[in-house]
Every structure is written in C-alpha cells, then in structure tokens.
Amino acid sequence: MIPIAKPYFSEEEKRAVIEVLESGIIAQGHKVEEFEKKFADFCSVKYAVAVNSGTAALHAALHSMGIKKNDEVITTPFTFIATANTILMVGAKPVFADIEEDTFNINPLQIEQKITQRTKAILTVDLYGHLCDYEKISEIAKNNNLLLIEDACQSVNAQYKEKKAGSFGHIAAFSFYATKNLTCGEGGILTTNNIDYSENAKRFRQHGMSGLGAYDYNEIGYNYRMTDISAAIMLEQLKKAEMLTKKRIDNANYLNEKLKNVKGIKVPSVKKGFKHVFHQYTVKVQGFKLSRDELFEHLRKKGIGCSIYYPKPLHLCKSFAKLGYKENNLPIAEKMSKEVISLPVHPNVTKEQLDFIANSIASLG
C-alpha cells in the first residue's frame, strides 16, 4: 500500500533523540524553549507556546482568549473534529458557516451572515494546506470586534503573499501529529503576538500554575506540556521545512499535469498569491466514469492509500445534533463531502508511485 501519509525522518532526528535521552532531561526543558523561539521566528510572530497536540493548542488558544460559556464561535463544518470539539471544551457554542467550493475553506460571506450579539470569535481552518481568505476575514473580524483564531494544523509554511500561516489571527494552532507536514508523533504549538495570550497559555499548559515553580494556582489548567524528546525532533523537522514543503508541492504539480485533462476529475485550485503546502492533495470527482466511492474502492484495491477528508460534515454528526442542523443547511460542505478524495503526495512518494496513482485514475477516464 502507498500510504496517504508517512513521516520523513533521517539521521538528524535519531541523533537528536539520543542526545536528549543521554542528557537525562527528557520532559519540558531547554529544547522546548529553543523550539518555541525558532518556531515563532519561522512564522514571524513574537511568541509560541509548545504543547502536546494540536487539540491542546486549540483548547489553550480559546481558553487564553477568554472564550467561555454562552459565547458563539463561527467555524467551518468541513474540518477535523478537534476544531469544533475544542469550542465545546471551553463551554462555547460552535456556529457552522458554509465553505467555498474552490478552496474548501470557510466562506467570508457566510461568516457575516452568522454573526449575532453572542459571537466572540471566528475559528478558521486552512484546510489541506491552503490558507483562508484572510484579507476579507480579518476585515470582518475587525469591523465586528471579533477575535480571530487560525487552525493552522494542516498549513505549516503556507503563505499568502509574504505572510506565513500562524500569523493571520490573534492566535494560531499547529499540530505535529504523525500524519502532519512536520511531525514528532504527537505535538502542537500555538503562535501569537499577544503576550497575555501567550502567558495565559503557558499557565493553562501547566495546571494553571501562577508563577514559575510556585505551587500556587489561579485557575484550572491541564498537563499539556511538550517533552524535550519531541521538541528535539521538531527542531530537526523545522530545518527541513522548506525541503519537505517543496517535495509536496512538486508532487502535487506532477499529479496536476497528469490529471488536469481527465474528464470528471477536478484538480486542486490554488488562488493567486497563495502558497499551498498540500497537507492533502484533494481532487473532486464530478461526472467521472466511477462515483467517488467506487473510485476510492478501485484505488484501494490497487494498493493506493487514498482517503476521504471528510466523509461527513460536522454539522451532521451526532455529537452536534443538539445544535439543530439539518441536511441542506450547509449545501457546499455537504456536496464536497461526497466529491472529495485525497491522494498521497507526502515527501516519501516516488515518481514511479505518482505515475502509478495518476495512471490508475486516467486509464479509467
């Protein structure tokens, strides 16, 4: 099977882990601090707070900004569950706004229609590695006095003009889970230019502890710390960020060339001025010989680890049933969930494998 994702490690990561193990300081320490500094620089923001997952980063972000019970947070239904679950974790209410068909990202016009007296924040997701339309969304946030949180879990190193993912909102959250573009197995980080948010997140990561090392607590917190073992891996991954991103983009372009003229297959679009980092290379099946589900089965049988992100938009999932959404409430997200299929473009995929993937589709068309 050609897997949909595979981490890219070499000698550097192995050496870095051994060095930490031999140092005897393996939990949160200097490596975490060094990684936070380097990651903040990488995104051109002032502060970064490392945690042990993307979910923890989102939870800490929402908490640090003071989002709480009775607040509404506008977000996309076409994302991984953690985006909306973390809104529930702070007791707030997710309000789903429909997406754009070309980028799969939240539609700014739909955001505006969902704003109420209770709206406190917009939580955007840079799906598959393509940034949202932050020119419009930032303006909406500003005009309506709303906080903007960027779920950048899939978009590390993505760009709009000169600005990088993680620098568009008041806070952003990244994931370093095993399938993500940069990884240490499990990990995450939040980025911000606001020192209060950064300090709040640091307390939240450590049981709500009020001062350094003092066993005194002002509020609830969790154990969301990253280990130095993970941070040491991440420091090496960060050095490879450009190389790894380029491999994904090259692989995506290669598939584009082979698939763009296949009838019924729509290759991903990249809007002008955007750098797409292809966490997923996702095509739409629209009037192809096979249905999306048949194509999925066909490719799987051939050993191609294609995948569906996401087969059900969140507003139709049982865990959000009490919000009262029904079918056809968010038609674009629902349509996309029936048409998308993601193909492997991670940095370990070879040209021969890309040829095999493309030919397995094109030969049917």
Ligand X SMILES: *Cc1c(COP(=O)(O)O)cnc(C)c1O
Residue 177 touches ligand X, criterion: CB under 6 A: yes
Residue 53 touches ligand X, criterion: CB under 6 A: yes
Residue 83 touches ligand X, criterion: CB under 6 A: yes
**Minimum Å distance from CB 53 to ligand X?**
4
Nearer to ligand X, 40 or 182 (CB): 182
Q: Are 152 and 165 in contact (CB under 8 A)?
A: yes
**Minimum Å distance from CB 180 to ligand X?**
6
- For ligand X, which residue of 153, 165, 226, 345 counts as binding (CB under 6 A)? 153
Nearer to ligand X, 100 or 354 (CB): 100
Residue 150 touches ligand X, criterion: CB under 6 A: no
**Minimum Å distance from CB 187 to ligand X?**
7
Q: Are 334 and 316 in contact (CB under 8 A)?
A: yes
Residue 151 touches ligand X, criterion: CB under 6 A: yes
Residue 54 touches ligand X, criterion: CB under 6 A: yes
Please choose, out of 4-12, 79-87, 206-214, 354-362, the segment that lies near ligand X by the rule CB under 6 A: 79-87
Residue 360 touches ligand X, criterion: CB under 6 A: no
Residue 79 touches ligand X, criterion: CB under 6 A: yes
Q: What angle do CA 244, 249, 252 make, to 5 degrees?
A: 130
Please choose, out of 150-158, 204-212, 217-225, 229-237, the segment that lies near ligand X by the rule CB under 6 A: 150-158
Residue 55 touches ligand X, criterion: CB under 6 A: yes
Rg (CA), the chain: 20
Q: What angle do CA 179, 31, 52 make, to 5 degrees?
A: 40
Give the pairing of strands 159-160 and 274-275: antiparallel
Please choose, out of 80-88, 97-105, 114-122, 286-294, the segment that lies near ligand X by the rule CB under 6 A: 80-88
**Minimum Å distance from CB 129 to ligand X?**
10
Residue 206 touches ligand X, criterion: CB under 6 A: no
The size of the interface with ligand X (CB under 6 A), counted in residues, is 14
**Minimum Å distance from CB 195 to ligand X?**
25
- For ligand X, which residue of 64, 107, 119, 154 counts as binding (CB under 6 A)? 154
Longest dimension (CA), the chain: 66
65: tokens are 């900004």
Within a 10 A sphere around the Cβ of 355, how many other Cβ atoms? 13
Spatial separation of the C-alpha atoms in residues 309 and 125, rounded to whole Å: 13
Residue 200 touches ligand X, criterion: CB under 6 A: no
- The 297-336 site mask, x for binding ligand X (CB under 6 A), equals ----------------------------------------
Spatial separation of the C-alpha atoms in residues 159 and 153, rounded to whole Å: 14
Contact residues: ligand X, CB under 6 A: 53-55, 79-80, 82-83, 125, 151, 153-154, 175, 177, 188
